[in-house]
Each structure stands twice: as structure tokens, then as C-alpha cells.
């Protein structure tokens, strides 16, 4: 089975979010399951020189976009025993940053078309192209409109994976004609609510639509979570499925992680206390081992449930906890946490920004990770927290619901609450703090958390089952 994994970002080359983690880990896990998986992504200007030096030039070709022909260079690289194709066009990709440019629509329409043109130039024919998010959503559209008559493309199947349905590639209808160059008969494929919606086009044209957790696949059928696409998703429900993401368990391993203060395992879990004490010192908190340390490592935006935290913050502190926050986002939340740090010196600490090495120190040193999200397609922080023996408190939504079961039941590995309600969240915090006050039971919960399996290999088996179903559609 040959899989071409198409993504707008991938580790180790460049990353802005969870998609890069997936594109950097899943293909290697698929190879271990017997698939020949390759990755295609843009060659961005921000890719580090030491990674560029290892790339090999393959060829170049022109990509037709409506009335224009654009240059595309093709480079190859190896990472994690996986072959990566990197598509080069300096006009589109030699910039500082990945997204957020005025011509993002044109940039990623070009990328989608270039993927298919690339296949006409190399000796490689995938059985399945797995596209990801709106930046590659035009691949199945172009494939069916322009390339099906070519022998090499007749048997190719497509999977479209939604990582976050809020970002859909919505633009004016002129994008479909002046940029994508779609013929009149194909315009309804991408038209949705009188605009171009690239994600809608992929949902319509792909053989299977997947999401990054089973619960999220159900949630996006509802208008609360679907951001307007719930109508087309309900119509195409027969092709929708959800597979929970994994994490890189080699990278996130408290036994070997060089970024944490003191390595530890299930057998030496008491050394987690050393990480807590050192984290308290670094963050300016009082070194109090008997106080549960609650952490948030998150973008500071409303979707992460921060309104609940603001509403009930004083009541949480009254439970005798310490609180540490790492993140950046909306001013209202950044300002709130800064005020709380000033109000509760030695008890609340905040670091603005995203500092990867500090994030790992927090995962290793905190006792509890708080994730009260309004919506969470998958979430990786809760899985990383478990790996480090930090007990998650989550709201039951998306991948949070699929990965965390309440410690009040069998095989529980965290604390959960259902409704988007501050006092329900406070109740979960109180239950966690109550267990923390019983050291023996708490240590049992910590050890069980560390033994939970959220490896990519587990997810890869589910992907292979999905790919087999897709190929069986032929």
C-alpha cells in the first residue's frame, strides 16, 4: 500500500501546530505497519539551513493555474526513515512564517495543484493521497476535475483529514476561476453559501473524510461545532470517521527527556517531586510539596475554556492549590493571568509565550493539567501530561473525551466534567485535590497515567484499517 501524505507543515522541517506533529510522526508509524508512506509539503523559507543542506534536487516543472504557469522545484529529503517531497516556489513560500498572508488562497491552491503535477514527473504512484486541512483541500477537487483521464491517476483514492474545522479556506468566488481555473461545471463543487469553501470541496470529492478523534467526528455534525459545514457533513456522513491522534512517546519520555530537571520512571516516580520543587523555584512559586500544582499549557483563547477559569479562579485558589500558566493569546486572558500572579504571589505564576523546554518542565513538575476546552478536535497536551504522570482535568469534548476517563470509574486516568459550566469544572478540581490529599491513592493514579498507551503505533493501526476500507471501495 502506497500512501502520499499531503500536509502544509511537518516536523522536523517546520511547525506551527499539531498538524506538523502528525505529519512528522504518523508516516513513520505507518511504515512500521507495512505501508510505503511518503510526505509532500512546501519548501518554506524558514526551514533551517542545516535541514536544507540534506535535501536533494530532483527536477522542476510548471504548474498551470488558470491563465498562469508557475515554476515548481522538487526536492527530496529523509526524516525518521520517511521520504519527504518539498515543493519549491520562492514567490509563494520564501517568506517569514507559514500562514497569514494576503494571498494564502493562491499559495495553497498552487501547492495542491503542484502535488498532482509532481506525480506526473516522478516514478511514484500512490494508492491513496491523504490530504490534511484546507491547505490541501483542492487536491481531490483537481484530481477529479483534471487528472482522472490520465492512466496513472485512475486508481488513486483520496482521504481528507479535518484537524480543525474552524479553518475552511473560505474566499470569494473569483478564487475558483481566476486562481484555480475551474471550469463552469465544476464551480458548484467548491461553492458554499455563495463563497469558495475549499474544505467543502474536499468533503464533497474525497472518498473518505476523517477527523482526529471519534467524538469530534460526531460533534462536527452539529451546528455548534460544525462552523457552517455541518450541513454538508450530515449529507456526506456515510464517508466520515474519526481516529484519535497519538504522541511521539520517544520524545515525550520522562525517563530520557533531557529538558526536565530529573528523569524518572514508574519505578522512580518519587523523583517527579524533584521536578516539582525545581519548577516552583524557577517560576517563583513557594516550594511547598504538599500543595497540588495545577498547570495550563495552552493558547490563551476563548475556545480553551478560559472564561470558566476566570469565573472560578479565586475559588480554585481557595482549595489550597498553586497555579502555573504557560501560553500566549488574547489580551484579555493574558492580562487576567498577569493580574492573578500579582494578586497571589508565590501561589500563581505566569510565563507569556510558548517555550517548548519550559512546557516539558511543567508537564514533569505539575501534579494536575487543566483543559476545560469548549471544543478540542484531538488535543495532545492531555496525552503528554499522562506520559509524565500529571493528572488531566478535562471537559468531555472531542479528543479529550476519547482519551481521558474519569477516575471515579474503572480504568480512570483523569477527572472529567460534561457541561460547559464553571462550577462543574470546580467540582472536578475539588475531586482531584481530594485524591491528592491521599498520597498512596494519588501515586497509584500517577503510575497508571504513565502506563497509558497513546503511541502513534496504536493510531497507525486504525489508519491502516481505514486505508484498507478506502482501497476496497474500488
188-216 pLDDT, tens digit each: 999 999 999 999 999 999 999 999 999 99
The three state secondary structure string of 404-415 is CCECCCCCCCEE
Average pLDDT over residues 249-266: 96
Q: Which residues on adjacent β-strands are paired with residue 64?
A: 69
Question: What's the pLDDT at 354?
Answer: 82
pLDDT band at 33 (very low <50, low <70, confident <90, very high): very high
Rounded to 5 degrees, φ, ψ at 181 are: 70, 30
The grid cell for 472 is 476496497
Q: How many percent of the chain have pLDDT more than 70?
A: 100
pLDDT band at 16 (very low <50, low <70, confident <90, very high): confident
Pair 92, 42: CB distance under 8 Å: yes
Question: What's the pLDDT at 191?
Answer: 97
Average pLDDT over residues 173-185: 97
Those residues with Cβ within 8 angstroms of residue 79's Cβ, 6 or more apart along the chain or in another chain: 11, 12, 13, 24
Kindly list the strands in the beta sheet with 56-65, ordered across the sheet, starting from the edge strand earlier in the chain: 56-65, 68-79, 82-88, 36-42, 2-6, 128-132, 157-162, 208-211, 240-242
Pair 74, 59: CB distance under 8 Å: yes
* Mean per-residue pLDDT over the chain, rounded: 96
pLDDT band at 28 (very low <50, low <70, confident <90, very high): very high
Question: What's the pLDDT at 469?
Answer: 95
Q: How far is 320 from 77, CA to CA, in rounded Å? A: 52
Pair 433, 316: CB distance under 8 Å: no
Q: How many percent of the chain have pLDDT more than 90?
A: 96
| pLDDT above 70 (res 380) | yes
Average pLDDT over residues 219-225: 95
| pLDDT above 70 (res 321) | yes
Average pLDDT over residues 373-396: 96
CA-based R_g, the chain, Å: 23
Question: What's the pLDDT at 25?
Answer: 94
Domains of the chain: 2-246+457-472 (3.40.50.2000), 269-454 (3.40.50.2000)
Average pLDDT over residues 103-115: 98
What is the residue whose three cell numbers read 501560553?
A: 327
Which parts of 246-287 fold into alpha helices (H)?
272-283
| pLDDT above 80 (res 474) | no
Amino acid at each position: 500500500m502506497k500512501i502520499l501524505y499531503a500536509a502544509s507543515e511537518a516536523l522536523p522541517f517546520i511547525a506551527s501546530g499539531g498538524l506538523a506533529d502528525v505529519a512528522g510522526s504518523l508516516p513513520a508509524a505507518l511504515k512500521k505497519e507495512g505501508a510505503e508512506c511518503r510526505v509532500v509539503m512546501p519548501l518554506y523559507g524558514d526551514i533551517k539551513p542545516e535541514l536544507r543542506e540534506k535535501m536533494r534536487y530532483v527536477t522542476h516543472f510548471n504548474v498551470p493555474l488558470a491563465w498562469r504557469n508557475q515554476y515548481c522545484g522538487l526536492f527530496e529529503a529523509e526524516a525518521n526513515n520517511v521520504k519527504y517531497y518539498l515543493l519549491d516556489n520562492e514567490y509563494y513560500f520564501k517568506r517569514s512564517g507559514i500562514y497569514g498572508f494576503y494571498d494564502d488562497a493562491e499559495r495553497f491552491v498552487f501547492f495542491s495543484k503542484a502535488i498532482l503535477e509532481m506525480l506526473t514527473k516522478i516514478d511514484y504512484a500512490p494508492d491513496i493521497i491523504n490530504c490534511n486541512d484546507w491547505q490541501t483541500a483542492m487536491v481531490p477537487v483537481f484530481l477529479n476535475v483534471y487528472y482522472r483521464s490520465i492512466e496513472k491517476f485512475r486508481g488513486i483514492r483520496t482521504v481528507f483529514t479535518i484537524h480543525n474545522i474552524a479553518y475552511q479556506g473560505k474566499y470569494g468566488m473569483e478564487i475558483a476561476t481566476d486562481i484555480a481555473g475551474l471550469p463552469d461545471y465544476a464551480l458548484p463543487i467548491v461553492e458554499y453559501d455563495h463563497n469558495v469553501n475549499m474544505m467543502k470541496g474536499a468533503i464533497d470529492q474525497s472518498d473518505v473524510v476523517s477527523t482526529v478523534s471519534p467524538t469530534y467526528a460526531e460533534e462536527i455534525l452539529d451546528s455548534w461545532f460544525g462552523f457552517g459545514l455541518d450541513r454538508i457533513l450530515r449529507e456526506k456522513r456515510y464517508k466520515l470517521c474519526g481516529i484519535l491522534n497519538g504522541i511521539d512517546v520517544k520524545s515525550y519520555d520522562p525517563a530520557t527527556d533531557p529538558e526536565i530537571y530529573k528523569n524518572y520512571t514508574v519505578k522512580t516516580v518519587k523523583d517527579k517531586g524533584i521536578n516539582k520543587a525545581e519548577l516552583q523555584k524557577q517560576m517563583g512559586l513557594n516550594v511547598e510539596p504538599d500543595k497540588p500544582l495545577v498547570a495550563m499549557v495552552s493558547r490563551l483563547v476563548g475556545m480553551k475554556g478560559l472564561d470558566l477559569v476566570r469565573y472560578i479562579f479565586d475559588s480554585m485558589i481557595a482549595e489550597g492549590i498553586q497555579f502555573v500558566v504557560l501560553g500566549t493569546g488574547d489580551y484579555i486572558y493574558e492580562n487576567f493571568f498577569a493580574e492573578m500572579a500579582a494578586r497571589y504571589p508565590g501561589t500563581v505564576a505566569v510565563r507569556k509565550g510558548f517555550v517548548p523546554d519550559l512546557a516539558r518542565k511543567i508537564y514533569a513538575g505539575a501534579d494536575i493539567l487543566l483543559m476545560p476546552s469548549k471544543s478540542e478536535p484531538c488535543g495532545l497536551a492531555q496525552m503528554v501530561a499522562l506520559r509524565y504522570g500529571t493528572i488531566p482535568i478535562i471537559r468531555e469534548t472531542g479528543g479529550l473525551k476519547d482519551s481521558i476517563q474519569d477516575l471515579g470509574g474503572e480504568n480512570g486516568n483523569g477527572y472529567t466534567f460534561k457541561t460547559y459550566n464553571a462550577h462543574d469544572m470546580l467540582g472536578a478540581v475539588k475531586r482531584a485535590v481530594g485524591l491528592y490529599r491521599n498520597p498512596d491513592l494519588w501515586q497509584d493514579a500517577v503510575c497508571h497515567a504513565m502506563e497509558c498507551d497513546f503511541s502513534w503505533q496504536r493510531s497507525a493501526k486504525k489508519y491502516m484499517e481505514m486505508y484498507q476500507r478506502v482501497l476496497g471501495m474500488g
